[in-house]
Amino acid sequence: MIAYSAYAKASDLGNGIVWYAIIGIGSALLTLTAAIAVFSQHTYLPYALPIYIAGVLSILHTLATTQAAPTMFSQRHHENDEAALTAIFNRFERWQTIRAILQLLTLLALLWALVVYAR
């Protein structure tokens, strides 16, 4: 755990912070912008439902990130405490699993929208 914590701090909590913020916030904003654009057209579009679903999933992913990120950051306060780091990484793993499922579902919803749009 101590070695993994050192790795995570050097990568995910180093330059990774900026990269993850750009990708995470950017993708959520693009998905929500698409949902708002479809909604503002005030007409029924066959791809509207999957776009709306993707928007909701993006919001849920963002909410899960508000739990996962502070958990990951909390390892900084437990440099050499293997028991505390184990608990932190176990909690992060649970939130990361939720986030990964939400990301996959968002991707599938957006692919669904693309397939419907292409027809």
Higher pLDDT, 43 or 10: 10
Q: Label residue 45 by pLDDT band (50, 70, 90).
A: confident
User: Distance (Å, rounded) from C-alpha 39 to C-alpha 24?
Assistant: 23
**Single-letter residue type at 38:** V
Q: Is the pLDDT of residue 12 over 90?
A: no
Structure tokens at 85: 């780091």
> What pLDDT score was predicted for residue 13?
85
Q: Label residue 100 by pLDDT band (50, 70, 90).
A: very high
Q: Is the pLDDT of residue 17 over 90?
A: no
Higher pLDDT, 1 or 109: 109
Task: Find how far residue 81's CA is from the centre of its chain.
Answer: 28
Cα angle 71-21-88, degrees, rounded to a multiple of 5: 10
> What pLDDT score was predicted for residue 79?
86
> What pLDDT score was predicted for residue 10?
87
Q: Is the dihedral of CA 52, 54, 58, 59 positive or negative?
A: positive
Q: Domain segments of the chain: what residues?
A: 2-118
Contact residues for 41 (Cβ-Cβ < 8 A; gap 6+): none
> What pLDDT score was predicted for residue 15?
81
Task: Find how far residue 58's CA is from the centre of its chain.
Answer: 7
Structure tokens at 69: 């990120």
